[in-house]
Amino acid sequence: MKLWGGRFSKETDTIVDAFNASITFDSKLYRHDIQGSIAHAKMLAKQGILSDSEASLIIETLENILDDIENGEIEFSIDLEDIHMNIEKILTDRIGDTGKKLHTARSRNDQVAVDIRLYMRDVITEIEGHIRNLLRTLLELAEKHQDTIIPGYTHLQRAQPVTLAFHMMAYFQMFTRDLDRLKDCYKRTNCLPLGSGALAGTTYSTDRHFLMQELGFDKICTNAMDAVSDRDFAIEFISNASIIMMHLSRFCEELILWSSSEFGFVEMDDAYSTGSSIMPQKKNPDVAELIRGKTGSVYGNLINILTLMKALPLAYNKDMQEDKPPLFHTADTLKDCLIIFEAMIKTLKINQEKMFVSAKTGFMNATDAADFLVSKGIPFRKCHEIVGHIVLDCIQSGKAIEDLSLAELQGYSPEFDDSVYDKINIKSCIEAKKSFGSTSSVSVQQMIEEAKKYLERE
């Protein structure tokens, strides 16, 4: 008979058992379930609801069960629905009626809620560590490539020259915001629901503040109904994970483009590439492509859990059992992607010469030519028009702006003089940027120093 079977006159159909069960996926929570149960047993003993000897027996047995699970000595039963009922059944089988006292002043509703929050705390902390590793690798790349010049793009068209360090630091900023969002999500996750009961609290004289301290929570969920019936903290995590995956995917897209023959800016290490089953010459950026592809499944998880929760009346509903597959899948996918992406870019081969040659073509010094005329007192819009005509004529003649003689340039504007050639030199175009946050070497060095301070604080 089920642990809740007293109300029923017949067993559930075996089809219902299989359909109703979550043990196939929530077994992942075994450690957190036992952690919460041990804290609950200590609290019951502290409040005199259990005797010290009863609590000690329960705690010792739960610790033994944990060891047995991790040693692969326990097989969970689908008939017992979920990880909570499985562990409780194992406990009562080992110590009898004393084990049945553990569930006093507790519901599976607050039990699963605390399990999920304990799991998410561990996951968020682990993912934060992977992001910090990625940030350190990006910073190393930036420090190494402060003088590596690369085309900057808008609309995937060459726009203005930048340094590779500047480009890497753009992603550094994105991932710091991702890290900050996770830290903020942790604050809302780290709220204790245990002690809320099914939805309305409990008639027993419990001590939720003791539970909070025992389990390391920062605060207590103040409304029992809210504590058991919402999963917004999990939704927030999956949302944050989706943003991180988006940033990884954008980075991967660039690496895929850059590794193509058309760009030739980078080459993936053999350890992070694959070949073709038919074309011997191929070296495919499959790791980057898979990260880009897996981003879609994480987005799907966000839509999944939002849709799951969107029409549920308070308080707990069985629908909420389905919150765990998208949560677990998101956490596992994000961890895997961060680990392999960081390793992939750490081994990236960078073709500095190809980047520089590309940066010298495509009239990326056109804005600087216009700025030169602005310095002579000509309105910017007029300067824009003048240089636009120069570019058009250069395209037709197959020349670069710097290839034109001074006489040719003065044919467009008499304000041009010999100093323009220094101004439109590709390196000068980079160093001329004076605004805070620009691609100049001084600005990028400031970014790097601030990044080091950020990581020291982390």
> Rounded to an integer, what distance in angstroms lies between the CA atom of residue 95 and that of residue 80?
18
Reported as type and span, the H/E element at residue 94 is helix 83-95
**155 part of the active site:** yes
The angle formed by the CA atoms of residues 26, 28 and 29, to the nearest 5 degrees, is 75
Q: How many residues does the chain have?
A: 458
Helix ranges, 145-215 (H): 164-189, 208-215
Helix 108-144 and helix 441-457, axial crossing angle in degrees, nearest 10: 150
Closest CA to 94 of 57, 142, 125, 67: 57
Catalytic residue among 51, 260, 276, 397: 276
Which single residue is written with the structure tokens 């979550």? Answer: 22
Per-state percent for the chain, helix, strand, coil, to nearest 5: 65, 5, 30
* CA dihedral sign, ordered 168, 174, 179, 180: positive
| Residue 306 CB burial class (10 angstroms; 0-12, 13-18, ≥19) | middle
* CA dihedral sign, ordered 399, 403, 404, 405: negative
Q: Which residues are catalytic?
A: 155, 276
